[in-house]
């Protein structure tokens, strides 16, 4: 059977592009998020996506209006996947939880329950991020440096799996004649006690349908790669090139082998922001409009106290390495100025030219607005027709560097539906993506085996 790529849909109600909510026809009302949630889930399932992915942010503030408006107010991830368990039938549902703030026993119970309610389609993305506002919201001091946070996450993840395994699969005898409902020998305490985690168990929920809902981890640090290699089923990592992705895979695979894993290590997935249309020119026009809609320093929004300081011509001068003065944002960038750009400016210019079709000195020239907007939104955008975006995905997947992609639509629902109607059929035509679901669980979709019960395995090892 041909190896199939992984496709996850990242749900951001107001879009993954900061100006996406301003695009004509885009969803822009957080009070109507449930409707766009249902629509996105059904669209993703009809396209046979592996999963819907819900990130998390545990604090808010007016500054997010410009930087990432989707984070201002959003539906809780665990609530979202619980709701979608009854709205969808086959697609996987992955929620995010921060190990520093989510009670271990409660999260184990919630995820085991969601896996039962969804018939084995739950996954959990465990993160370790530290934010002073989030800490204050939870009545805690800010979490420490990366090492102690990851030490805690390591203990947390190991204890989480032991809690899921509290009940063996056949612990429920249900013997009416004898009156025995359970076999107490098949119920296990966790009794995990470490420097950061302490929990007794057993869990007050049956073992999940999948045994262990897939563990996802997202991060780019060496410590993140270590955790993913040793313990995660899926590793989401942003990389700038195929070579970088290959290096990440090599490191996580080596760490998996060193940890005694025999499954080859985690699936490697990278995020991508596709801007898709029927033709290249139409896709470039959509991206060009998204750039135009990014609030910059000459807009009224610049007067807001939380307006980002990197959205000024002065900030752009530092990036391109050339004093630009104070030209109007919509002025054309002269060739004589562009030729003096440093390496950072040349990369920025290349990105704008590739994604918008504009050229220095061309019929559709590059303006300072496009350069500045592209600098303030450093998204991994791929702009083009359905065939061109599929070519990009196939090149990365075919290299063996990644197993799949987390799709970040710039706005909903138009751009996500463009992806599912233009890119997915092309991937299916090439034999790279399924046309129907083969299995019923998220582990089935990802090609992951159902794990053995850790308590049973421990008894077997001690007996041997």
Domain at 188, CATH number: 3.20.20.30
| 3-state SS class at 306 | coil
- Taking CA 98 as the corner, what is the angle to CA 375 and CA 234, rounded to the nearest 5 degrees? 75
Containing structural domain, residue 412: 6-276+382-463
Domain match, 241 and 97 both: yes
Domain match, 119 and 210 both: yes
pLDDT in the model for residue 404: 98
Q: How far is CA 272 from the centre of its chain?
A: 10
Q: Which of 149, 146, 163 is nearest to 104 (CA)?
A: 163
Domain match, 79 and 65 both: yes
How many structural domains does the chain have? 2
Domain match, 215 and 356 both: no
Cis amide bond preceding 269, omega within 30: no
Alpha-carbon distance of 128 to 150, in angstroms, equals 7
Domain match, 270 and 328 both: no
- Taking CA 220 as the corner, what is the angle to CA 84 and CA 395, rounded to the nearest 5 degrees? 80
Q: Which of 355, 373, 363, 349 is nearest to 280 (CA)?
A: 355
- Domain's final residue, options 350, 376, 402: 376
Q: Give the long-range contacts of residues 113-119, CB within 8 A, separation 24 or more.
A: 113/205, 114/78, 114/81, 114/82, 114/85, 114/213, 115/208, 115/209, 115/210, 115/213, 116/205, 116/206, 116/208, 116/209, 117/82, 117/85, 117/86, 118/81, 118/84, 118/85, 118/93, 119/209, 119/440, 119/441
pLDDT in the model for residue 2: 67
CB of 64 closer than 8 Å to CB of 72: yes
Q: Considering the domain boundaries, does residue 153 fall inside one?
A: yes
Domain match, 303 and 188 both: no
| Digit-coded pLDDT (tens) for 196-227 | 999 998 999 999 999 999 999 998 899 999 99
DSSP state of 275: E
- Taking CA 175 as the corner, what is the angle to CA 174 and CA 179, rounded to the nearest 5 degrees? 105
CB of 213 closer than 8 Å to CB of 245: no
Q: Considering the domain boundaries, does residue 1 fall inside one?
A: no
pLDDT in the model for residue 299: 54
Place of tokens 């079709």: 357
- Domain's final residue, options 360, 376, 392: 376
Q: Give the long-range contacts of residues 312-315, CB within 8 A, separation 24 or more.
A: 312/372, 313/368, 313/372, 315/372, 315/375
pLDDT tens digits in sequence order for the chain, 464 residues long: 567 999 999 999 999 999 999 999 999 999 999 999 999 999 999 999 999 999 999 899 988 998 899 999 999 999 999 999 999 999 999 999 999 999 999 999 999 999 999 999 999 999 997 788 888 888 887 777 788 899 999 999 999 999 999 999 999 999 999 999 999 999 999 999 999 999 998 999 999 999 999 999 998 899 999 999 999 999 999 998 999 999 999 999 999 999 999 999 999 999 999 999 999 999 999 999 999 999 887 655 556 777 888 888 888 999 999 999 889 999 999 999 999 999 999 999 998 998 999 999 888 899 999 999 888 887 779 999 999 999 999 999 999 999 999 999 999 999 999 999 999 999 999 999 999 999 999 999 999 999 999 999 887 777 87
- Domain's final residue, options 351, 376, 401: 376
For residue 193, the cross-strand partners are: 198
Domain match, 365 and 449 both: no
Q: Considering the domain boundaries, does residue 357 fall inside one?
A: yes
Q: Considering the domain boundaries, does residue 432 fall inside one?
A: yes
Domain match, 255 and 180 both: yes
Domain match, 253 and 111 both: yes
The answer for residues whose C-beta is within 8 angstroms of residue 278's C-beta and 6 or more apart is 385, 386, 422
Q: Considering the domain boundaries, does residue 287 fall inside one?
A: no
Q: Considering the domain boundaries, does residue 325 fall inside one?
A: yes
Domain match, 101 and 178 both: yes
Domain match, 89 and 235 both: yes
Domain match, 225 and 335 both: no
pLDDT in the model for residue 172: 96
Place of tokens 């989480």: 160
Q: Which of 5, 203, 209, 9 is nearest to 93 (CA)?
A: 9
For residue 462, the cross-strand partners are: none
Q: Considering the domain boundaries, does residue 285 fall inside one?
A: no
Q: Considering the domain boundaries, does residue 284 fall inside one?
A: no
């Amino acid at each position: 059977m041909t190896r199939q790529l992984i496709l996850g849909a990242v749900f951001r109600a107001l879009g993954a592009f900061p100006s996406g909510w301003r695009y004509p026809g885009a969803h822009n009302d957080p009070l109507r998020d449930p409707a766009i949630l249902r629509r996105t889930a059904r669209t993703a399932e009809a396209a046979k996506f592996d999963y819907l992915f819900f990130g998390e942010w545990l604090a808010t503030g007016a500054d997010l209006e410009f930087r990432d408006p989707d984070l201002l107010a959003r539906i809780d991830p665990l609530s979202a996947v619980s709701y979608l368990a009854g709205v969808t039938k086959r697609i996987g549902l992955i929620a995010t939880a921060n190990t520093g703030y989510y009670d271990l026993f409660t999260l184990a119970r919630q995820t085991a329950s969601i896996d039962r309610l969804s018939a084995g389609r739950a996954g959990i993305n465990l993160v370790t991020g530290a934010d002073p506002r989030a800490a204050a919201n939870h009545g805690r001091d800010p979490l420490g440096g990366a090492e102690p946070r990851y030490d805690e996450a390591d203990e947390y993840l190991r204890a989480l799996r032991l809690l899921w395994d509290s009940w063996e699969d056949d612990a429920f005898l249900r013997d009416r004649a004898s009156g025995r409902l359970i076999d107490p020998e098949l119920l296990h305490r966790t009794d995990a006690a470490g420097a950061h985690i302490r929990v007794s168990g057993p869990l007050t929920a049956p073992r999940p349908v999948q045994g262990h809902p897939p563990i996802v981890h997202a991060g780019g640090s060496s410590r993140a790669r270590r955790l993913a290699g040793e313990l995660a089923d899926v590793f989401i990592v942003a990389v700038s090139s195929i070579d970088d992705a290959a290096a990440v895979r090599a490191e996580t695979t080596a760490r998996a082998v060193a940890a005694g894993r025999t499954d080859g290590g985690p699936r490697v997935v990278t995020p991508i922001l596709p801007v898709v249309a029927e033709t290249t020119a139409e896709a470039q026009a959509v991206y060009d409009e998204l750039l135009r809609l990014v609030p910059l320093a000459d807009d009224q929004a610049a007067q807001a106290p939380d307006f980002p300081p990197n959205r000024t011509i002065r900030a752009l001068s530092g990036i391109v390495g050339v004093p630009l003065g104070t030209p109007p944002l919509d002025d054309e960038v002269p060739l004589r100025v562009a030729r003096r750009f440093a390496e950072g400016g040349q990369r920025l210019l290349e990105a704008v030219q590739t994604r918008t079709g504009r050229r220095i000195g061309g019929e559709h020239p590059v303006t300072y607005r496009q350069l500045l907007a592209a600098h303030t939104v450093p998204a991994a955008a791929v702009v083009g027709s359905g065939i061109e975006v599929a070519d990009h995905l196939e090149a990365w997947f075919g290299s063996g560097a990644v197993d799949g992609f987390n799709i970040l639509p710039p706005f909903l629902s138009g751009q996500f539906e463009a992806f599912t109607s233009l890119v997915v059929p092309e991937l299916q035509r090439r034999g790279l993506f399924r046309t129907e679901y083969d299995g019923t669980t998220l582990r089935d979709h990802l090609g992951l085996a159902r794990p053995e019960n850790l308590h049973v395995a421990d008894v077997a090892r001690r007996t041997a």
